Amino acid sequence: MSYDQGIEVRETPPASGPLSFRMKITSDPRLLPVVRSTVAEFAAIWGFEAEQCRKITLAVDEALSNVMRHAYKNRSDREIELNCQANADCLEFSFVDHGESADPARFCSQPLDDASLSGRGTHLIRQIMDEVCYQRQFGRNRLSLRKYLPGAKGKG
């Protein structure tokens, strides 16, 4: 049983233009399953196969968990904005919070070792997504993730 169960996976994205939605959630981990279900459906609608839907869902979940844990220091009453956009060749997710700034080095490549108990979340995000961009602007953190459809031009 996993998040792809019961989700209809389409072979190609619909031709009727981009799709987007926005969620504002409080930084409460109990909301993570709600977001996971939504993101898994969104990726499936846009033509990603089941395994990729699971991985995209994992990356989004890890990004939200990072905000809750590091930016908001586990306070569960803060606000996180999640924007999801499906373009012709990719899915884009952006996360905006007003918490403490992140160390940009966390989003850079760093070796994993068996003993490490932290840093696996950002490692997973980098492994799964094609583009990862972190910015600190006007007292806000903004993390953007992009995943191209298989065979898309922008895929590096």
Partner 1 sequence: MTTATREQTGSTIVDVTGDIDMGTSPGLRKTLLESLKRSPRLVVNMRDVRYVDSSGIASLVEVLKEARNTQKKLILFGLNKAVQEVLQLTRLTRIFEIRETEEEALQA
Nearer to partner 1, 29 or 104 (CB): 29
Nearest alpha-carbon partner for 20 in 58, 46, 59, 50:
46
Radius of gyration of the chain (CA): 15
By CB under 8 A, name the one of 100, 127, 152, 154 that touches partner 1: 127
Tokens of residue 41, six digits: 């459906």
Distance CA 52, CA 152 (A): 14
User: Is residue 117 a contact point for partner 1 (CB under 8 A)?
Assistant: yes
By CB under 8 A, name the one of 14, 33, 104, 154 that touches partner 1: 33
CB of 57 vs partner 1, minimal distance in Å: 8
For 32, 42, 60, 123, the CA distances from 151, given in Å and listed in that order, are 30, 19, 22, 24
By CB under 8 A, name the one of 44, 46, 61, 96 that touches partner 1: 61
Nearer to partner 1, 35 or 45 (CB): 35
Sheet with 19-26, edge to edge strand ranges = 19-26, 79-86, 90-97, 140-148, 131-137
Residues of this chain that interact with partner 1 (CB under 8 A) are 1-3, 5, 29-30, 32-33, 36, 51, 54-55, 58, 61-62, 65, 68-69, 112, 114-115, 117-118, 120-121, 123-124, 127-128
